[in-house]
Amino acid sequence: MSGGAHLPRGLHLLADFHGVDAERLTDPLAIETLLREAARAAGAKPVGGNFHPFGPGLGVTGVLLLQESHISIHTWPEHGFAAVDVFMCGSARPERAVAVIEAALQPVSVSRQEAPRG
């Protein structure tokens, strides 16, 4: 292939984090910082993002756009729950991103799904 084009092959990971302390799920700046850290750990390059808080003590929805695809998160502090979606192509390692997010949120339990793409 010419021009350095990326192949569409990648890995899409979904992770549901249960039993997360509510205070870890309400700060959009902290969540954006976490997702940027997760992207770096995975070897991915952020190119933009948008994080929206729903008000004091309420959840956050956010997406970090990556050169390699994206990381998104939706939080429900009132339920101690966060849903994370990580899709990366190329040499990026999405499982590393999920591991960084899990270490920071410290959930009681996690369920994961994995889907090869392309």
Catalytic residues: 69, 74, 89
Return the closest-CA partner of residue 93 out of 35, 42, 40. Answer: 42
Phi-psi domain of 96 (left: phi exceeds 0; alpha: psi -120 through 50; beta: other) = alpha
- Which residue in 88, 108, 77, 51 sits closest to 98, CA to CA? 88
E strands in 1-118: 10-18, 46-53, 60-66, 69-76, 81-89, 109-117
